[in-house]
Structure 1
Amino acid sequence: MAPTLVSSLKENKSKSGTALFSLLIILVLILAACGNSGNGSPTSTNKKHILTIGAHVGGDYTKSLSPYNPTLVNEGIQGMVYETLLFFNRNDGQVQNLLATDYKWSSDQKQLTFTTRENVKWSDGKDFSAADVAFTFNMLKQYPAADSKGLWSYLSTVTASDAKTVVLTFKNPNPPLLWYIGGQTFIVPEQIFKGVDPTKFDNANPVGTGPFKFAKFSPQLLTYTRNPGYWQADKVQVDELHYPAVKDNQTLQLKLMKGEIDWGSFFAPDLDKTYVQKDTQHNHYWMAPTDMFTLYVNLTKAPFNDVNVRQAISAAIDRGQLSKQAESGYVAPASPTGLILPNAKDYLDPAYQNVPSTADVAKAGQFLQSAGYAKGGDGIYAKNGKKLSFSIKVVSGWTDWETMAAVIKQNLKDAGIDASVDTIQDSAYFDARNNGNYDALIGGLFGGPTPFYLYDTHLNSVNLSPKGFNWGKWKDSQTDKFLQEYSSTVDPAKQKQAIMGLEKIYADKLPNIPLVNAASWYEYSTKNFTGWPSKDSPYAVGAAYSTPDNLMVILNLKPVA
């Protein structure tokens, strides 16, 4: 199984241009490592409601309790101990107040003012105030290694004008930064972090505003206890959190199937058989689509610089087959627009609502003929004596990607295109992807609360690789124009108009070739707790590694009597 989309980007930490890099905010190394183990069941002699969460696979824990450690943050620190100003639900784009009770942009969108929540205390009993918020952002300026989202590429100043007002001033208008500022920056107490480098600080006794206190570290288990002084204490009905370390994914899956964990987050094929059917009343999963898998083609060289060839490749691919064979049917075929559906359904142009996901060999042939290709006696299209032949790079051991590549190879052969699969080590893959040394490769597109974040991260010309994440080398003035129009306004109607312009460019010109949605893996049991997010109640992304979604889950859980 491939790692999470974020981990596949860990070799590239650019902060260039206006691209905002949603991928950098998910601190996960390996998709298969996102699981759960333990025993969350209260007993007759133990009244505590203990929630056991699997979010670590790979052996013993290394202690890392600062929320701004650039390489590793222990599970639960972000969300359970430290909170953000706002929560953004990536399932529907809705925004909810947390440590902030209000925010407002200036008329020129160059100043953002937050009103912070009153009567909030740090877990050491001291008052939380706007000064802590201003301190946190200025700390990121002082220690750039902690500023993983590159906020100070856009900020000019951050000040607290009074105890409950924080004012952020920007070099240029950029309202989409609100997600990163309000929804992904974890606020820390000035009295603890003043004068220390947050990327190196051991933070042995974390002090946060969140619903839990860090209680105990061992290489095998992280333990958190409920914070009685939490500002939403009435909503917290879990007494302890246990994050056990699990040595490998097989062990994690076995514990999940045995019912020894409450909350899991990992990929396993055929969960209906191996998990749900073990206890159909209590065992469930929901794979919320948050990102997308795509086929990058090298736009800087023939034949991929011809849109007809790109359209032919796209028409030849059976995305329904990819979903079933590579992703066990957990995710839907990708939209030709680059929108992650159904999350972004409100932005979808009706013209793209019912586009088939099956292969259309005849249509692929028409595109190739328009590009000047003719089918040879061997069934492969050629132009000027040169066959339409190329390789697709994938990482060895990322089994879903390997399966996708095999399916695509056969789909393309059926359409008269000769593709081969080049399976390589991850380091070679990162190098090829970042430097454009490939014909085609399978990769990811990273979503956010609105479609803007995916388009901006991967199609903005200021974000061209190797410094950025525009790995296909897409450079288009109209794309940049729409991105700029979206990012310079807070008017929803104007933003939607810009998005619809971008989806038409994506569908018509195919800067990359969408394959299937990518999910946040999530399994849960209702044996000990109810109130979990689900397809019918998508109030947060369910994956245990998704922050601050994990906080929202905790606030909704109810122990079973």
Structure 2
Amino acid sequence: MKRIAALTALLAAALTTSALAQQPKTVFTVVRPTQWGSYNLNPFTPGDQHLLPTNSVIYESLFYINTLNSKVTNVLGTKYAWSKDATTLSVTTRDGVKWTDGKPFTANDVAFTFNYLKKYPALDTSAIWKSGLESVKANGKTVTFTFAKANVSTFQYIAHQPIVPEHVWSAITSPLTETNQKPVGTGPFVFDTYSQQALRVLKNANYWMPSQPYVDAIVWLSTNSNDAALLKLLKGEADYGYIGVSDPEGGYAKKGANNTYYWPVTGDNFLYFNTAKAPFNDAAFRRALSQAIDTRDVAQKAYAGVANAAHPSGMIPGQQQEWLTASARNTTVKYDPAAADAALSKAGYKKNAQGQRLGKDGKALPAFKILVGAGWTDFITMAQVISENLKKVGINTQIDQQAWSSYAGGLQTGTYDMGISWGWGGGPTPYYLYNQSFGPEFSAPVGKTAASNLARYTNPAITAALAQFRSSSDEATQKKAINTIASTIMRDMPWLPLTDRFEFSLYNTSRFTGFPTKQAPYNAGTADDTIGARLMYLNVKPK
């Protein structure tokens, strides 16, 4: 009763009187250690700068691919098949689905969605059309994707694209600025209420899975830091939080019988160098800085030994054995401040009498900013270690904490110096991380929004290797391409892989069961605003 009263009080401060009059019986509460942006439910908004429920519970994709085990879960698609020459993909769409305005979902909506991306290229953040797609057509229940040449690696991007209704979006001619505040989707929930403190969605009474979801509503509560979000979980004021705490075992799980966590390794955390800005456009400078940073200490202090230092290829442990040669696996960036200091001087960045590092022009280098999310204790800790390390070689830094919109915006528009973030790409093979991180089509001039090439680094050898990978289904050819990419980035260091990155799911299981776990990994533990999170919202049920 105390928890219900506390939650009601929290919601009362944020939700309207009319909304409170319609309180649902079972409410699943998510706590978010960040401030969300404006009232935007546009699934096409670049950089996930729409509100959290948009692509997790309102709009649905054709399929969901679990990056932990490559399992494909059917959503709006029920079957898919490639032609023998891998130039045609056929997808069968689901019967009996309705949009939340009551109109039927059809294959035409799928074809429209992908052709809409072609019409407005800025929406195509996965570069589907730039990957050789020539046409998308609907015929009955089937949607046919035709490519100029074999490109089976594009399937993940097609599978995960949110599908929108043609009868709504065909009338929207400015999709980049559209806020879509009355969204029409096929998902298990419909949007109800927005404020800066709380968001709420209600169960879709006409959802195509008649027995699910098991809860009547989901509420997201906003906090200004990881610590504040964690406290709500510990007090039982929230059921789930995607929170990067430093010690999930000792600092959370041991503090209550109902406290559990699910942290599968699905990526890395990186220190991105803005290669569009001097001196970070100099590979020698980047290599020296990388050598000056103790990634083992970064991992130890940020995650209390739960995480390991990342491999310099940026590849997760589960993929290294299969995709890297033995020599590449054994490659390291050895922490050596003395060697880093000498390398900087050799590259033309000498020190003055006060020990301050100078640029090649002889002028003192400024204090470089390290961009992190405001209140994200794990990233802040990483930045603190990095700052201490770089100071030893005469590089001064400042930790720049920004709210999500300006944090993501700074990374994507290239206005930062250095920034800590996860890899903006990933999948069942290393191709997906490398493609979205270094493909030219995912970059942009400084000031323009880059979809995911945050370092703004491209290299002809990498571009050619990416093309080689996606045009072949031969495993040996694909492995050769991956090793070309890995060796190139380990030489040029457009980023420094810092730590293994987990999916940071924390649960308070006092009221609900059915969460994804290591024993039941039906999703990859992905964040609360992703298409994978939809499966959690469908499966959690009251005890």
**Is the TM value for this pair above 0.5?**
yes
The AA in structure 1 aligned to 2:163 is I
1:521 equivalent in alignment to 2:489: no
Provide Cα deviations, 1:246-281, integer angstroms capped at 9, x if missing partner: 354465333222012111123444454553233134
Cα distance in structure 1, aligned partners of 2:327 and 2:297? 24
Cα distance in structure 1, aligned partners of 2:302 and 2:458? 31
Measured after TM superposition, the shift of residue 499 of structure 1 is: 1.3
Distance 1:257 1:240, change over 3 A: same
Cα distance in structure 1, aligned partners of 2:339 and 2:179? 59
Match of 1:186 among 159, 162, 170: 162
The AA in structure 2 aligned to 1:502 is I
Provide Cα deviations, 1:344-378, integer angstroms capped at 9, x if missing partner: 65324333546678734576589789979999999
**Counterpart in 2 of 1:447?**
425
Match of 1:138 among 115, 121, 126: 115
Cα distance in structure 2, aligned partners of 1:143 and 1:110? 23
Secondary structure of 2:309's counterpart equals: coil
Q: Is the 8 A contact 2:33 2:243 kept in 1?
A: no
Q: Is the 8 A contact 2:59 2:186 kept in 1?
A: yes
Cα distance in structure 1, aligned partners of 2:474 and 2:299? 36
**Counterpart in 2 of 1:160?**
138
1:552 equivalent in alignment to 2:529: no
Secondary structure of 1:342's counterpart equals: helix
**Counterpart in 2 of 1:87?**
64
Gaps of 5+ in 1: 1-36, 40-45
Measured after TM superposition, the shift of residue 336 of structure 1 is: 1.2
Distance 1:453 1:523, change over 3 A: same
**Counterpart in 1 of 2:20?**
none
Provide Cα deviations, 1:185-220, integer angstroms capped at 9, x if missing partner: 22233344443456637463x543333344x43646
The AA in structure 2 aligned to 1:513 is L
Cα distance in structure 1, aligned partners of 2:506 and 2:471? 39
Cα distance in structure 2, aligned partners of 1:169 and 1:108? 11
Q: Is the 8 A contact 1:373 1:382 kept in 2?
A: yes
Match of 1:483 among 458, 466, 477: 466
Cα distance in structure 1, aligned partners of 2:280 and 2:49? 42
**Counterpart in 2 of 1:341?**
317
**Counterpart in 1 of 2:514?**
531
Measured after TM superposition, the shift of residue 63 of structure 1 is: 5.1
**Counterpart in 2 of 1:494?**
477
Provide Cα deviations, 1:113-153, integer angstroms capped at 9, x if missing partner: 21223344445555432122112223444555654545455
Match of 1:102 among 50, 69, 79: 79
**Counterpart in 2 of 1:408?**
386
Q: Is the 8 A contact 1:131 1:160 kept in 2?
A: yes
Cα distance in structure 1, aligned partners of 2:44 and 2:349? 54
Distance 1:512 1:391, change over 3 A: farther
Provide Cα deviations, 1:370-412, integer angstroms capped at 9, x if missing partner: 9799999999999999899885431387565554344234435
Cα distance in structure 2, aligned partners of 1:242 and 1:452? 35
Report the TM-score, using the length of structure 2 for normalisation: 0.75
RMSD: 4.5
The AA in structure 2 aligned to 1:554 is Y
With 462-471 and 250-259 compared, the bigger mean Cα shift is at 462-471
Aligned length: 508
Distance 1:553 1:436, change over 3 A: closer
Measured after TM superposition, the shift of residue 169 of structure 1 is: 3.2
The AA in structure 2 aligned to 1:253 is L
- 1:275-424 paired onto structure 2 within 5 Å: 275-286=252-263, 288-296=265-273, 298=275, 305=282, 307=284, 310-329=286-305, 331-342=307-318, 346-353=322-329, 359-360=335-336, 392-395=368-371, 398=374, 401=379, 403-412=381-390, 417-423=393-399
Measured after TM superposition, the shift of residue 471 of structure 1 is: 5.6
Cα distance in structure 2, aligned partners of 1:227 and 1:301? 52
Secondary structure of 2:222's counterpart equals: coil
Secondary structure of 1:75's counterpart equals: coil
With 249-258 and 292-301 compared, the bigger mean Cα shift is at 292-301
Match of 1:459 among 432, 438, 443: 438
**Counterpart in 2 of 1:238?**
214
What fraction of aligned residue pairs are identical, expressed as a percent?
Answer: 32
**Counterpart in 2 of 1:505?**
488
Cα distance in structure 1, aligned partners of 2:351 and 2:171? 69
Report the TM-score, using the length of structure 1 for normalisation: 0.73
Distance 1:119 1:346, change over 3 A: farther
Measured after TM superposition, the shift of residue 321 of structure 1 is: 0.8
Cα distance in structure 1, aligned partners of 2:83 and 2:102? 34
Secondary structure of 1:418's counterpart equals: coil
Q: Is the 8 A contact 2:215 2:540 kept in 1?
A: no
The AA in structure 1 aligned to 2:496 is I
1:259 equivalent in alignment to 2:243: no
- 1:103-122 paired onto structure 2 within 5 Å: 103-106=80-83, 109-122=86-99
